[in-house]
Every structure is written in C-alpha cells, then in structure tokens.
Structure 1
Amino acid sequence: MRRDPAYPVYAAAKEQDLLCKTVEGEDFVGYVWPGYTVFPDFSLPEARAFWAERVCTFSKLGFGGYWIDMNDPSTGSVPLDDMRFARGALPHEAWHNQYALGMAVATRDGMLAARPDERPFIVSRSAFLSASRHTAVWTGDNMANEHHMKGAIALSLNLSVSGMPFNGPDVPGFALASSAGLMRAWYKLGFLFPFLRNHKMKEQPDQEPWTRDNLTTAIVTDYIRLRYKLLPYLYNLFLDQAEQGDPMLRPVWYHDQSPEFERTDDMFFVGHAILQAPFVELAAASRAVLLPKHRDGASWYDVLAQDFVVAGTTVHHDNAPETTPLFLASPAVIPMQSGVRTSSKNDLSTLDVLLVLEQGAATTTTYRVDDGISYGFEKGERTALTIFASFDAKGVAVEIRALQDGYGKVALRLLILGIDGGAEVRINGAAAELSHDTITLAGSRLTVLATARTDY
C-alpha cells in the first residue's frame, strides 16, 4: 500500500502496527507502482483480519472477484532481505513463500464475510501449499513468443499436478507484441486451460483479437465459443478436482506411463476424455501425434480425421489456421451446452451429450449441475444424473437415471459420433427417434445422430 499519511488504509495499518518491519524496527519501505510502498504483515492474524475487513467493504460495493498481484512479495529496487515479519521477530525467509497465501486467505475471508453464500473468485500471482483452497493462480509475466507459448504447457501441467490445478498463463503473452499468427496459435493451445484470459503490459500494443485481422478475430471467437460450449464438461472436471483430487489439466503420463511419454510437453489431457496436441511452432507445416492410452481404454476419435484410431498409432495433421489436433477418448460421454454460444449466459441444465462409442464398448459417467455460484449444493441444491451407454450388435443402449434432483430437471439430447443412421438407439429401454445434425469441434464439422431433447 502507498506510504501516504493522507491514505486512510495506510494510516490505520500504521497505527495498528500491522506493517512489515526492518531489523531496526522501522516500517519496511519498497518502491513499487504506487511509489514508496509499505507491506501488510500477513504473518500476523490481526493483519489478515485488517485486510479481510477492507475486502469485505469493497465486496459490499458490488465487487465479485479479486486479482491479487505483486504478492511474491515484489518490493521493486529494494532488497527483500530487509523485510521482516512478525513485527520484526522473523527473518524474511521465514515467511517469504507464505506471503501470498496469507493475502489469499485474508481476501477470501473478506469476500465470505460480505456474501457468505457466494463462492469467492480470486486469482493470485503467487501461491504456496494449500493455496488452491483459496485462489486460482496465473503464471506470471510471460512473453509473447513461441518459447513462452510452448513453455506454458509444461508450467501449467506442473502446477496442475502439484496442488494448484486452477491455473493458466496470460494469452498471448504479457510482454512484447504478439503477431496475429501467435495469437491464433496460443488461443488454440490454451482454450481449455482451467484459467484463460487475454492480458498485456501497459507499454505494449493492444492485443484484443480484433486489433489484428478478420481471420484472427474469427478464429479466436470460435475457440472461446468452443470453450463455453464445453463448459458442462469443464465444470464437472472442477467438481472432480474438488471432491476427488484429479486435476483438470493432466500430463500424458497421468493416464499412460509408457516411457515415451515421460517428458512429453507438447500435448496434454483435459480431464479424462479430451487430448490436445496443439502446434507450438508457427512455421511447422504439420505435426505427428503418438496417441497414448487414456483412462478408459486405448481408442480415440480423431476430430480432424473424423475417424477412430487406436493408441500407439502415430497420426499426422497439417497446420491449418482454423483447426487444431483434438482427440476424444472412446468410449466417453462428454456433456456440452447446446448450440453456439454467443453471449456470456450459460445454461448447464440444457445439454447436448456427446457419445463417443465403438461397437463392443461401454462407458458410464455422472453429470452434476447446480447454480455455480452459491453453496446451495451443500444443502442438496444439486442435480446429478448417471449416464450409461453401450454399443453392441443390437445397437446403442443408453440408461439415464437421476441420482439427485435438488436443482431441477436436466433437458438433454444425445449426439452420437461414429455410427450410421441404420443403428438402433434405445434410451431407458425405449426406441429413440433419430435425426442427423452437425457440430463443429476444433474447426472440424462433424455429423452426428441426434435424439430428441428430454427432461430427466
């Protein structure tokens, strides 16, 4: 906070002796964005309570989320070693790593004090063990270049399996000016990362997609829309992470421990059912993808080739502006929002459920939906369905059962990939009326068999 006696927050923190000290017992002063700057001592419970009170006041004004920055802590040109904690009793190294955690805990406490039945949203630049209980993180000040774009995969995967699953980089890079091609490639790479945002530093050219060209605007729009189309799948991955610990973003070795995947850093799983293999070199004309096993088997649906492929196969795809290599696990049940998303409004109770099945396969999943904002789900305000699908010589059989109905009905239709119109589809024992429809995934237009929409 700015060291300014006329600034009420500073004056109150100084009066209550809540600021970090030097070894001489003076307030530690850094030089950061506000100029001469002092730092709340988040090692002190009373300092965390002080911060929470201010966050509570802001939240009551209508703020719904917080971006807590510079909490490494960043002190500008002033040496960190001079900053001490616990009113000077602890050296800097005793609380340096925990500093951002203390700030996140206090911020979350303040939000809950203002709106106790609303889930807080916080994104932090730094974190420590257990921080995922309180905040998401972004991966700091990166550069708009291919090296940092590719490196974002390994960095986010490492965080994801190290207790910080809700993370992602600045797209298409914080510093330097992104080219149109880099912007398109980075959005295609990161559109399903747990955290996705466009960001840049103040001195660089604007980098909203529409500041480049019409092609870039159209492609970025398509992939953001696809992200929100897949929001029901992503939301259930968040629930899996919270309840079971499985991260959303997974290294290939998470599901296939074969030696050839130990150091793979150019493709990754999004949950158990989607594999991305983006282009990380703009000049590459094509790329090869060695397909791994997945959680439920060894078969994939190659979205660009529009065909099933077995694990262990190497497939090749050209580097086209509109597409990105994307693979769907077979068998799998992938819930999606219906239609093309054209606004920020989302409806996770009206679904298109994509079935990826080959003959002889069977799969089951549980889909959960609630209001996405409150803690009502802890009081039973959630709906859960189990969906079991199998494909044999008789056709496709699907069983849909409600496990919980605390959030009302779910209206869904099935979209079935990879089978022709002659196959019979039965839902809960009754023959389903079928029609043909199309969906676009990763720039590839797919024909599917569609059932009528029904409430469950």
Structure 2
Amino acid sequence: MTRSVTLSCVALLVLLAGQANGELPQGATAPGQNMPSTLTGELIGDRIARFFASPQARENALPSYAIEKETGPGKPLDGSVKTQPVYSLRDGKQTAIVRIAPGTSLYGTGEVAGPLERNGRKTIAWNTDAYGYQDDAVSLYKSHPWVLAVRADGSAFGVLADTTYRVEIDTAADAADEIRFTADGPAFPVIIIERDSPIEVVQAVTKLTGLPPLPALWTLGYHQCRYSYYPDTRAREIASNFRDRDIPADVIWYDIDYYESFRCFTFDPVLFPDPKKLNADLLAQGFHNVWMINPGIKSREEPSPNEPPAEERMKESAEIRRARETQRDVFRAIRDSGKVEDVYVKRADGKVYEGEVWPGWCFFPDYTQPRVREWWAPKYKPFMDVGVTGVWNDMNEPAIFNVASKTMPEDNIHLGDPNLLTPMGSPQGAAKAKGDHARYHNVFGLMMVKGSREGIQASNPDKRPFVLSRATHIGGQRYHAGWSGDNTANWYHVEASVPMTLNMNLSGLSFYGPDIGGFAADGDAQMFERWIGYGTMLPFCRSHTGKGNIDKEPWAFGPEVEETSRLAIQRRYRLMPYIYTLFRDASVNGTPVMQPLFFTDAKNPALRSEDDGFLLGGDLLVMPQLVPDRSRQSVMPSGNWRELAWDAAASPKNTTKGLDSQNNDLPRLYVRPGAIIPTAPVMEYTGEKPVDPITLIISLDEAGAARGEMYEDAGDGYAYREKGEFLRTQYVAQRAGETVKVNVSGVEGGMKRPARNVIVRVLLDNGREVTGMGKDGTEISVKLN
C-alpha cells in the first residue's frame, strides 16, 4: 500500500510556518485555488517518489512516455524524499506546486532560451518550430517538464511533471519560493528525486528516463552541414577542402535539397545521380554522411513548391525524366502503402489529416502506434543500402506551415499504444490509448525517432545507429542526439549556446549542441571564430547555416579564422579518448558529458549562475572567449586548476595566429587538480590510425596524486557489449620526492592492450610542465627537475 495524507488549511498553515527550510514535510498538502484531494505517493526507486493528486488520479493515470520501464505500483513512502507536491486546480487546469527553500537554485527545463539558472523564468513545454528564436522564447523544439533544484547546502532534488500535455513550468510564480507546473489534460503524476548532490540527481533522472546508447566514435568528430550542399560535386569539394587544409572532420550532411522534389526517401537524379558512389567515395576519405528524413509524406501529385515549371522539366533528357519517374514511383509506393495500411493521422471527423510543409500538402504517419512504427522502420532499408550512415529527423514537432499554431490541430486523433503500462502496472488498452493531438503532440517526434532508430538498426545490425532529432520529449536520449534548432548568427546566441547546452545536459540529453555559426542570418568572422572556438568542446559539434546565407565552413572567413578553426577542431580530436570515455560513462551511469561549474562545489553561490565557463566531464574546465570587450568576469572554481594548451604545431598550416595558447579566440582549458586526461595525436578523422602514442595530461592534487580513465573499443558495433571486447584502463600518478610515477591501477575488458608508447605531461604551477615517455601498461617515471 502507499501512504496518503490530507491536511486542513489551518493545519497546513501551522506546518508551513514551522518549516525553516521552506519545504513541505512528509505527507503534507496545501490548498490551491481549490482544495486538493488526498495526496498519494509511492517509492519507485532509491529516494525516488511518484505522487498523484488522489488515489483516483493514480488509478486513472496515463502511461508515462518519460520513464523507460514502467514497473507498476511502488513501495510505501519511507521519509527518504524530503519534498512533496501540492496539487490544485487553477483556472480549470491541473497544477502542482513544489516548495523550495531560500537559497535554492533551479536548472533544467530542457531546451530553453536565457540563462543557466532558471529562477524567475517561465517555460512552456510544447514542441514548437521556433525559427530565429531569441531570449524571450518560452517554447522551443523539445519538451522537458523537469527542474533540478540545488539547495544552499549543496544537496539537490529533481522534479518531473510526468505529462505529455502542454505544461507551463513557472519559477516566477506568485511566490519566489515555489516551482509551479500547470498542465492541460488530466491530473498528472509528479516524480521527485532526492540526492546528496546535483550530479547524482541528473544521473538518477537519466537512468529513470533511459540511459543513452554508446554512440559510434565517428559521431563525436566534427560535422559540417548547411541547407544545402548540392549537387554531389559540391559535397566532394567540401570534403577535399577539409583534407587539403588539414582540418579534421568526420561527417558531411545533406539537407532536403537532395530529395526528388522534396519527396522523402528519394534522391534527385540530376543533383545526386549516384548517392551510393558518393557515399562510398567520401567514406574512403574518412567522411561519414547524414541525410535528412522528414515526417511529412507528400499527399498529392501536384508539383512541390520547389519544382520548376513543367516546360522546364520537359527540357531534361529522356534518361533523366525516366530516372525522376523511378524515384517518384519509389515514393508513391511508400505513400500508397500508408493509405492501404491506414497509418496516417486523422482529423477529429475521421478523415485523413493533411498539412502543408516543404513538399506542399502532406500526410503524417501516426508514430504513436507501434504498428505504424513497424510500417515506418523498413522504409529505411533501401535508403541505408546506398551507404547512408546517419539520419536527421527534422520538422517533427510536427511543424506545419501557414497556420498560426505552427502545428496540427489539437483535436486531431492518434491511436497510441494500447500495450503501454499505466502506473498501476496494467496495459492502458485501446480506448485509453486513443487521444487527441494535445495529448500526443510532445511525443510525436520522440515516437518518430524511435521508429527511425529501429529501422536503421535493422538495416545495419552490426553498426550503432546515429539519429539527430529536432523535436523530442524527456527521455529522448535513449534514441537520438539533439541540437538547438534554428538559432541565429548573433552575439546573443554565441553566449546562449553554453547555458542552453548545459540545461539540456542537466535534463538527461547529453549528446547535444548548437548550430555553430548560427542557422539564421550571416554573422561575421569574429562571431564564427569565437563560436567554433568553444563549440568544438561541446558534446555534439556541428557547423550549420541556412539557405541564402554566406558560407560558414572553417575556411570561409579567411586565413585567420581558418587558423583558429583548425586549432579548435584539432583540440577536439586530441581530446577524443577523453570525450569517448565521457560518453561511455554517460551510457553506463547517466553522467552528463557537459557539466556546470557549480558541480565542482554545489555550496558555492558564486558558481550557481556562471553562464560562460563549463566542464567537459569532471576534469576539464573550458572558459570560452565570448562577446568582445565584455566587462563581466567569469568565475573560476576554487583549487589549483592548471592551464592546458598544445603549442607544438600539428599542421604546417598553423602559422597565422601563433600557438594554441596565444590565440585569444580560443577558450582557455584547465585541468582539475588530481586528474589524468588521456589524449591522442591529431588525426584527419576518428579511427584514421591507431592511437599511438597516447598522451596522459596529469595535474597533481595537494597530496601529489592524480587518477584518470580511458575507455576503448572498436569504435562501432556491439562487440564491446556482446563479447566484452573493450579496454577500460585506470591510470594513477603519485609524486615521490622529485619524481612522479605513473602506473595502471586497474583494467577491465577483454580487448588486448595495444603495444604503444605513452607520453606523460605533468602540468606544474605557473604554466610549467615536465614530460616523460614509456610503454603503455608499464610504470613511467617523470623527473620534476
């Protein structure tokens, strides 16, 4: 049984008056505009409680799309969760309030504009096509009704409003001491996670909503994109430029102009006559590829908006016209099978819904249904068979043109999944699964990308799928990477990309980053230089821009910006062993790859609102150079963080702006005292050659000790999981007099250690360092004088 308690208004006021920390005691509820019913709670994990407005609300609760594995009824509350929600109705909407103590800082809420610290902000979790958004945007592309609360003493808790409906997250409500969730739809569960530190809360919510899969190594390299690279000769030109200019890169992207007249799963026979050869040729140069697939299925035979007049088409050769018709037949087979299988979203009157997007009028598969995802997934097989290595699901909020709401009517009908379990542990059934778009809007993209991932995996069972999705819901990290959508090339977005990426990491989705350089507008050389300088230190690293804008490749702004870009990207590739190790930790423990500086000392109020600096993992501090001539000073955490730079030229082309440490457009990097960071030689692309030598960057703590870890496997596939073919090495360093000894202290995995050299760099105070060399797996001694 679960425990539930109701308190009268008078009793509640007495209790609240006695709460020195501002949080409600175990079992308490409070009045809203209308008195709430009996609060019902249960433990669904270690110090994780799920609350319902009443026993009836619990029995009637809808299935969770956030929780990866519903387990049904939990255990009785035991006092381990200090905080509880207060339910009420406000203006006819379900509301849950969580009280916070003075000195509590709030974070998370997913993809949001504005500062890192969310106190005093309002967010509406409703997936929205938000082209060119700025600081005042309240809804962006993703919905994460989640708040991380860090108390003054450094302990923390997290609050998840477990609803798929539109929900307002208000931390600027009537009282400054509360978090208020107000949602459409029925009463929703509130999940509260209690932990001793904020990083533990993030790990817990990531495990609850689904650990991210370990990505393929190539996906962690540098990605180059624009709307659009066409024809295929332009893509080849881009690839050649990267290699000729000694700028590392792993991926080239293709936006919707590769389609035959915007029909998905097709290739334009003029622009991309042989995509299989293109993909194979570029893969031989070390370039993977990612191609866009949108949800809209062109519904009518009329020309797409981008098609030239019919008389222009008639000027094409007979061979091209036949090839074009072949591509259209491929598409028609997909569209018509959807009609036969009855997979498309319906209007409230039962007719198939049509909405306008890039191809013109379109049908939209009802991805909420498992059978529709099963219909969708195999469509990727012929697509992947031409050598496609990654997929980009865009426009899946879903975005609809020429309507004020920017999306489908909220009374459209979805049939859902009758087998999803409710919190009572039983399938919801077909009647309960059927719901309107208001209910399913926020998970439309999530369910699309779930089906896409399943199709890509089935097409290439020995490869790790890569899918990038614009829209998602909390828990999306179990299927895809994400990006910031259609940002703008201005100084606001240069600054905002840091807190936005941090808050996504604090909401469970680590594999995330902005469009470096800005999607909307041109920007200028210095703006791009600063952006790519720190953008290469973010979890997902991709430059992108929109149609009609100036070019934004690393060399597009002249030799000085090219130099900075090369150095910045080289930094990322040097750090690849460390970055890959961080992503492995995320996939096993839910640890965010990018972390705010207050993770170093959650009690320090000076770090709570630091928007510029951030941690890549727990051991590397990144302090970007952002807006020029800004007077505000960034805050550094306490301790002897030692600066890291690479001043040995990795390319003969690195000549224009001097050495790594002298380039003022690159962020400063600092290593935590007590850390060992594994690094690699610069490569043109990940996996170009064996990592030999590895370089261990060591920063000793006050006790003269340091430790670190390096994870390795094949970089793709599942031998690491199925056969134990990986190598996880624990390195330790200890100072003894004027010598530092470096050893392997622990090994896990069945992969044989490569015979390779190790360079040791011991960072000392005042910018000094000493180096040594030895063989991996043996003791290496480094003299300090």
TM-score, normalisation: structure 2: 0.50
- Which of 37, 46, 54 is the aligned partner of 2:362? 37
> What does 1:141-152 align with in structure 2 at a 5 Å threshold?
141-152=486-497
Kindly indicate whether residue 674 of structure 2 is the aligned counterpart of residue 331 of structure 1: yes
Q: Deviations over 1:95-132 (max 9, x none)?
A: 10111111111111111111222111111101112211
- Cα distance in 2 for residues equivalent to 1:91 and 1:405: 49
Query: What corresponds to 1:18 in structure 2?
Result: 343
- Cα distance in 1 for residues equivalent to 2:701 and 2:737: 11
Query: What corresponds to 2:614 in structure 1?
Result: 268
- Cα distance in 1 for residues equivalent to 2:662 and 2:761: 28
Query: What corresponds to 1:176 in structure 2?
Result: 521
Deviation (angstroms), 1:383:
1.4
SS at match of 2:533: helix
**8 A contact 2:743–2:777 mirrored in 1:** no
**8 A contact 1:182–1:282 mirrored in 2:** no
Query: What corresponds to 1:128 in structure 2?
Result: 473
SS at match of 1:355: strand
- Which of 415, 432, 436 is the aligned partner of 1:86? 415
SS at match of 2:578: helix
**8 A contact 1:337–1:348 mirrored in 2:** no
Deviation (angstroms), 1:31:
0.9
**8 A contact 1:355–1:414 mirrored in 2:** no
- Cα distance in 2 for residues equivalent to 1:367 and 1:304: 20
**8 A contact 1:336–1:353 mirrored in 2:** yes
**CA, structure 1 residues 403+320, in 2 after alignment: closer, same or farther (shift >3 Å)?**
closer
Deviation (angstroms), 1:453:
4.0
**8 A contact 1:412–1:454 mirrored in 2:** yes
Q: Please say which structure displays the higher CA radius of gyration.
A: 2
- Cα distance in 2 for residues equivalent to 1:366 and 1:71: 38
Kindly indicate whether residue 628 of structure 2 is the aligned counterpart of residue 282 of structure 1: yes
Q: Deviations over 1:168-225 (max 9, x none)?
A: 0001100000201001000112111110111111121221122211101111011111
Kindly indicate whether residue 700 of structure 2 is the aligned counterpart of residue 361 of structure 1: no
- Cα distance in 1 for residues equivalent to 2:738 and 2:715: 39
- Which of 228, 242, 246 is the aligned partner of 2:591? 246
Q: Deviations over 1:212-257 (max 9, x none)?
A: 1110111101111110110000000001111111101001122221
- Cα distance in 1 for residues equivalent to 2:537 and 2:610: 18
Q: Deviations over 1:76-97 (max 9, x none)?
A: 1235225331299421111101
- Cα distance in 1 for residues equivalent to 2:744 and 2:771: 18
- Cα distance in 2 for residues equivalent to 1:157 and 1:89: 36
- Cα distance in 2 for residues equivalent to 1:358 and 1:158: 30
- Cα distance in 2 for residues equivalent to 1:446 and 1:61: 52
Deviation (angstroms), 1:407:
2.5
Query: What corresponds to 2:683 in structure 1?
Result: 341
Query: What corresponds to 2:640 in structure 1?
Result: 299
**CA, structure 1 residues 241+11, in 2 after alignment: closer, same or farther (shift >3 Å)?**
same
Unaligned runs of 5+ in 1: 307-317, 421-444
- Cα distance in 2 for residues equivalent to 1:348 and 1:194: 23
> What does 1:47-86 align with in structure 2 at a 5 Å threshold?
47-78=372-403, 79=405, 80-81=408-409, 82-86=411-415
**8 A contact 1:171–1:197 mirrored in 2:** yes
- Cα distance in 2 for residues equivalent to 1:329 and 1:346: 30
- Cα distance in 2 for residues equivalent to 1:65 and 1:304: 33
Deviation (angstroms), 1:346:
4.2
**CA, structure 1 residues 31+148, in 2 after alignment: closer, same or farther (shift >3 Å)?**
same
**8 A contact 1:359–1:392 mirrored in 2:** no
- Cα distance in 1 for residues equivalent to 2:352 and 2:397: 18
**CA, structure 1 residues 66+304, in 2 after alignment: closer, same or farther (shift >3 Å)?**
closer
Query: What corresponds to 2:334 in structure 1?
Result: 9
**CA, structure 1 residues 304+401, in 2 after alignment: closer, same or farther (shift >3 Å)?**
closer
- Cα distance in 2 for residues equivalent to 1:361 and 1:319: 29
SS at match of 1:223: helix
**CA, structure 1 residues 404+348, in 2 after alignment: closer, same or farther (shift >3 Å)?**
farther
**CA, structure 1 residues 142+322, in 2 after alignment: closer, same or farther (shift >3 Å)?**
closer
**8 A contact 1:139–1:170 mirrored in 2:** yes
TM-align CA RMSD: 2.5
- Cα distance in 1 for residues equivalent to 2:710 and 2:645: 27
Query: What corresponds to 2:22 in structure 1?
Result: none
Q: Aligned letter for 2:617?
A: G
Moved more, 341-350 or 155-164: 341-350
- Cα distance in 1 for residues equivalent to 2:776 and 2:507: 41
Kindly indicate whether residue 736 of structure 2 is the aligned counterpart of residue 407 of structure 1: no
Query: What corresponds to 1:221 in structure 2?
Result: 566
Kindly indicate whether residue 746 of structure 2 is the aligned counterpart of residue 450 of structure 1: no
- Cα distance in 2 for residues equivalent to 1:9 and 1:299: 60
Query: What corresponds to 1:388 in structure 2?
Result: 732
**8 A contact 1:178–1:207 mirrored in 2:** no
**8 A contact 1:352–1:415 mirrored in 2:** yes
**CA, structure 1 residues 418+366, in 2 after alignment: closer, same or farther (shift >3 Å)?**
closer
Over the matched positions of the two proteins, sequence identity in percent amounts to 28
Q: Aligned letter for 1:211?
A: A
**CA, structure 1 residues 230+303, in 2 after alignment: closer, same or farther (shift >3 Å)?**
closer
Deviation (angstroms), 1:341:
2.7
**8 A contact 2:761–2:770 mirrored in 1:** yes
Unaligned runs of 5+ in 2: 1-296, 302-328, 417-432, 648-660, 779-785
- Cα distance in 2 for residues equivalent to 1:416 and 1:319: 19
Q: Aligned letter for 1:282?
A: P
SS at match of 1:99: helix
Q: Deviations over 1:236-293 (max 9, x none)?
A: 0001111111101001122221111111111111101111111221234x77343214
- Counting matched residue pairs gives 415
**8 A contact 2:347–2:353 mirrored in 1:** yes
SS at match of 1:416: strand
Larger strand percent: 1
**8 A contact 2:625–2:664 mirrored in 1:** no
Query: What corresponds to 1:370 in structure 2?
Result: 713
TM-score, normalisation: structure 1: 0.85
Query: What corresponds to 1:435 in structure 2?
Result: none
Query: What corresponds to 2:122 in structure 1?
Result: none
Deviation (angstroms), 1:45:
1.0
- Cα distance in 2 for residues equivalent to 1:414 and 1:320: 25
